[in-house]
Structure 1
Amino acid sequence: MEQARQAPRPQTDIYEQFRRLNPNEFSGTTDPFLVEGWIRSLELHFQYLQMGDGDRVRCATYMLRDDASLWWERAVHELNLATLTWDQFKEAFYGKYFLADVRGLLTREFMGLRQGDSTVAEFIWKFDRGCHFVPLIVRDAAQKLRHFMDGLRPTLRRDVLLMRSASYDAATGCAFQAEQALRDIDFEIQRKRSQAQSRSQPQKK
């Protein structure tokens, strides 16, 4: 009973813990990946500290600088800070720095993403960046794996399918192995071709 009467833990403790994590500042940018990256980095800190909505908004706005700080000074006049949730803050923030048209374009680019002449490492990098903008795929492991497989170069897709990868992580590992195997085959073919050409050339006396 005595424990229930104790005062709640001061919120300033949370802010101090947040600052110790060295969160990134945000000054404003037109690069959607930097915008989304900043939000994701904050959310990792928030989850670690188990922050509620109010603390999340206050900590995020504390990290705004320059153009972003000026935007927030104007935005607060149109928002109810007493009831503002983290999702509502992100909606207002994205409305300024991550327009719906840009998100739509990135989504369409991701849905049509193909490996082409890229290496497996380059394709995975593009896939991982774009995947974040299509949450329905991110949350569905089977669909994410299927979309990755569809984007692979046909020769690699064939080999990865033969390895029967059950997850996206397993499929990426198999794709690296298949790519290296094809490189080894190409190297061996080139080596034998070079040897054959050397034997066919007339020997100098």
Structure 2
Amino acid sequence: MDRLNEFKRCNPQIFEGKKVDHWIVEKWLMHMEKLFHDTFMKERDRVWLATHHLDGKAYRWWLDIRDNPNTDLSAISWKRFKELLMAKYFPESVKRKMEQDLHGLRQEDRTVAEYEREFSRHLHCVPFVVRDDEDKARIFERGLRPSIFRLVQSSNLHTYRDVVNRVLIVESGAV
């Protein structure tokens, strides 16, 4: 109980599971992981502590898992807990939609920095979409404005960082 009280002093966020999109789930998980890191919390205590900070629909979801006679609670590591939570609140259908959104993402009237932020935000949720860094660079390139794309594509750069750096130079007019 001391560990729980100590952890509560850090004011962990409560996750309720209502009106949820995957960004809220990810933000809550990142917040919890930050607190675990900052408080030097052991792996074995993480699921226990996190589930104390579920409420409403999210807590009902956890009770359904916990009270299922086929559930081996000792086998639910923090990694497995995150997988289960993401499967509930970030289902495959949403991942497929985000994958389509990533491939359809275009720079349009955004600055390169704004486009790159949006691209990275989408990619963070569907990292399995890219095979390697070069594939990531090609997907990013295809979304650029045609005038910038033509100047960058001819450079035949192989890394995402090189493409972004080159695009920033092109946008600034230094080419």
Match of 1:113 in 2: 105
Residues 1:158 and 1:46: Cα distance change in structure 2 (over 3 Å): farther
**Alpha-carbon offset, residue 125 of structure 1:** 2.2
Q: If you compute each CA radius of gyration, which structure gives the higher value, 1 or 2?
A: 1
Match of 2:164 in 1: 172
Match of 2:15 in 1: 26
**Alpha-carbon offset, residue 35 of structure 1:** 1.6
- In the alignment, the residues of structure 1 paired with residue 2 and residue 131 of structure 2 have an alpha-carbon distance, to the nearest angstrom, of 35
**Alpha-carbon offset, residue 22 of structure 1:** 5.0
**Alpha-carbon offset, residue 131 of structure 1:** 0.4
Match of 1:65 in 2: 55
Does the residue aligned with 1:132 lie in a helix, a strand or coil?
helix
| One-letter amino acid matched to 2:144 | L
TM-score, normalised to structure 1, is 0.65
**Alpha-carbon offset, residue 123 of structure 1:** 1.4
Once the two structures are superposed, the pairs formed by residues 49-64 of structure 1 within 5 Å of their partners are: 49=40, 51-52=42-43, 54-64=44-54
| One-letter amino acid matched to 2:136 | K
Q: Which has the higher contact order (CA 8 A, sep 6+)?
A: 2
Greater Cα offset, 154-163 or 141-150: 154-163
Q: How many residues align?
A: 170
Ranges in structure 2 where 5+ consecutive residues have no aligned partner: none
**Alpha-carbon offset, residue 111 of structure 1:** 2.5
- In the alignment, the residues of structure 2 paired with residue 100 and residue 150 of structure 1 have an alpha-carbon distance, to the nearest angstrom, of 25
Alignment check: 8 A CA contact 2:119 2:140 kept: yes
- In the alignment, the residues of structure 1 paired with residue 67 and residue 127 of structure 2 have an alpha-carbon distance, to the nearest angstrom, of 31
The Cα RMSD (Å) is: 3.3
| One-letter amino acid matched to 1:122 | E
Match of 1:86 in 2: 78
Q: Alpha-carbon deviations, 1:58-82, whole Å to 9, x = none?
A: 2321222333223322331123212
**Alpha-carbon offset, residue 130 of structure 1:** 0.9
- In the alignment, the residues of structure 2 paired with residue 164 and residue 127 of structure 1 have an alpha-carbon distance, to the nearest angstrom, of 20
Alignment check: 8 A CA contact 1:132 1:138 kept: no
Aligned counterpart for 1:150 among listed residues 142, 165, 168: 142
- In the alignment, the residues of structure 2 paired with residue 167 and residue 126 of structure 1 have an alpha-carbon distance, to the nearest angstrom, of 18
Residues 1:165 and 1:55: Cα distance change in structure 2 (over 3 Å): farther
- In the alignment, the residues of structure 1 paired with residue 8 and residue 158 of structure 2 have an alpha-carbon distance, to the nearest angstrom, of 40
- In the alignment, the residues of structure 2 paired with residue 138 and residue 20 of structure 1 have an alpha-carbon distance, to the nearest angstrom, of 40
Alignment check: 8 A CA contact 2:99 2:129 kept: no
Alignment check: 8 A CA contact 1:15 1:59 kept: no
TM-score, normalised to structure 2, is 0.74
- In the alignment, the residues of structure 1 paired with residue 170 and residue 42 of structure 2 have an alpha-carbon distance, to the nearest angstrom, of 44
Q: Alpha-carbon deviations, 1:56-109, whole Å to 9, x = none?
A: 212321222333223322331123212212233223212332222112211221
Greater Cα offset, 104-113 or 153-162: 153-162
